[in-house]
Chains A and B, each alone.
Chain A
Amino acid sequence: MFNDYFAEVRNYLNGIPTRDQQEMVQFYEEQALDADWTVDQMVEKYGTPKQLARSLRLEYAMDVDDGQAGLGETEYPQSKSKNRTQMIWLIVLALLASPILFLLAIILVPMILGILMGFVSLIIGIYVAVIGVLAGGIAAIIAGISVWSSSTATGIFLMGAGVLLTGLVVIFAPIVWNVTKWLFEMFIKFMKWIGRKLVSRRQNSQVKEG
């Protein structure tokens, strides 16, 4: 029974390197053994295996994102963006499960999802704009060359316009891109701030269901 609880926790931690899993579970397992708790008492103190695993996962994902996961071990099997996706998801889940913050969560969760969708459309928008303007610029240059022999003035105008458009993309695309990236980093920082609050918030409130 006792072992089943932690076997289940480990099961939910699947995907995290075994050594780090062991590191995380060790504390809770040892404390429960020292305190001589029954499974019911563990659920009361730590939450269900799923709940414990979720908060461990969230903590771990935030540490990975900070670049200081585990305790200075190996490479992490997940890419940064995959880890972030998971981190944000876990924060949203933790927000929804947190009784104290429930009212706040009703506002925060749609806001977070909204911001995320905003970023996705912004990135798509940047891509489309860059490709569109670049294509237009190159087409204008080609058109300029092809009408050169019949109308030199039109040719020069088209080529000039083409070079201008291409130049604008080359100059502004990196700026827009970097600003977007910066905004996204700010957003991640904010999410981690919420996440850390949620992880330490465990101290006074046990979550009921999840």
Chain B
Amino acid sequence: MDIQVPTVVLDGTVLSILSKEDTYGYVITKTVQEHLNISESTMYPVLRRLKKNNYLTNYDEPFEGRIRRYYHITDEGVARLAEIRTAWSDFDKSVNALLEGE
């Protein structure tokens, strides 16, 4: 069975990918899909929300006669990522303690 990926975790994974380098939609989806079971329609709402909250910006670059939209993490985004990482590690510890603990 699958556990639904919480919104905040999705936000964190995308920000983490972008913290390494600017990249575009397909790569973001693929990278997350390597680890989590998400559909190809998942990322758009996530990216949209992150942009609305000023955690990322985007710019277009031409590619083979069309446009590729690159996403770039902002300083707010970096701060947000740190926040999510801390929150996740706390959550992870608590759940482990409950699920695996004696």
| Interface band, chain A | 20 to 34
Interface status of B51 (Cβ within 8 A of chain A): yes
Assembly CA distance A33 to B67 (angstroms): 10
Q: 1/0 contact trace for A17-40 toward B, CB 8 Å?
A: 000000010111011011100000
Please give, as numbers and ranges, the residues of chain B lying within 8 Å of A204 by CB-CB distance. 2, 4, 37-39
Q: How far is the CB of A143 from chain B (nearest CB, A)?
A: 61
In the complex, which of the residues B4, B41, B67 contacts A30, with contact meaning CB atoms closer than 8 Å?
B67
Please give, as numbers and ranges, the residues of chain B lying within 8 Å of A45 by CB-CB distance. 39-41
With known contacts A203-B5, A204-B4, A27–B69 Cβ distance under 8 A? yes
Please give, as numbers and ranges, the residues of chain A lying within 8 Å of B69 by CB-CB distance. 26-27, 30
Please give, as numbers and ranges, the residues of chain B lying within 8 Å of A113 by CB-CB distance. none
Q: 1/0 contact trace for B48-79 toward A, CB 8 Å?
A: 10011000000000000011110000000000
Tally chain B residues at the interface, Cβ within 8 Å.
Answer: 26
Q: 1/0 contact trace for B25-55 toward A, CB 8 Å?
A: 1110100000001111111110110011000
With known contacts A30-B26, A204-B39, A59–B45 Cβ distance under 8 A? yes
Smallest CB-CB A-B distances: 6 pairs: A34-B26, A203-B42, A45-B40, A27-B44, A31-B25, A202-B41
Cβ contact within 8 Å between A203 and B66: no
Q: Is the interface of A mostly helix, strand, loop or mixed?
A: helix
Q: Closest residue to A199 on the B side, CB-wise?
A: B45
Binding site for B on A (CB under 8 A): 24, 26-28, 30-31, 33-35, 45-47, 52, 55, 59, 68, 71, 199-200, 202-204, 206
Q: How far is the CB of A45 from chain B (nearest CB, A)?
A: 4
Assembly CA distance A22 to B5 (angstroms): 28
Interface status of B7 (Cβ within 8 A of chain A): yes
Cβ contact within 8 Å between B42 and A34: no
Assembly CA distance A71 to B50 (angstroms): 12
Q: Closest residue to B51 on the A side, CB-wise?
A: A71
Q: A30-B24, A34-B68, A202-B42 are in contact. List 16 more A-B contacts (CB 8 A).
A: A24-B44, A26-B67, A30-B26, A30-B68, A30-B69, A31-B29, A31-B40, A33-B66, A34-B24, A34-B25, A45-B39, A52-B41, A71-B51, A71-B52, A200-B45, A202-B39
